[in-house]
Amino acid sequence: MRISIDKIISLLFFVLSVFYLYQTYQIQVFSFDEHAPFNAKTFPTFLAYFGMFLSVLFLVLPEKNPTKIDHKVLDYKSVSFLIFITVVYGFVILKAGFFLSTSLFLFFSYYFLGERRWKWMFLLSFPFVALFMYLLHGLLDIYLRDPFLKMLGIIG
């Protein structure tokens, strides 16, 4: 019996989801926010369980058309760059803040994925993250520590 590459990837995704679930239980929640219906742990925990559910579902269900992978056409260089900037993003986000690090992460992701229209790359990174920050801070009252925006005097 030969195990398909899709099943192996699904098993790896299950392991990754289990590890992510373990990490979600390491998230510290404020004492007043512990029993709230939605807190810092809620969405990550949901994502972990959902990832586990999908990977188990894919492992159990039979494959209709097994996929054949042509490794000659896969772009390993772009994937390597994306993994690298994701790791850098993880290390930089606490020092630079959410706005600057996420905007730069999106900007460089677009570049490594082949986008070369600088206007679109800028518009889909910096204003998008600014809008998201406004939704979090202004409408939902969720505080994200951001030394860059604090230095500029935008948030307190």
Angle 115-93-20 from CA coordinates, rounded to 5°: 90
Domain boundaries, the chain: 1-63, 93-156
pLDDT range class, residue 66, cuts 50, 70, 90: low
pLDDT range class, residue 2, cuts 50, 70, 90: low
pLDDT value at position 67?
66
- 3-class secondary structure, 151: helix
pLDDT value at position 57?
93
Report residue 125 as tokens: 């990174």
When pLDDT is averaged across residues 40-64 and rounded to a whole number, the result is 89
Cβ partners under 8 Å of residue 94, min gap 6? 145
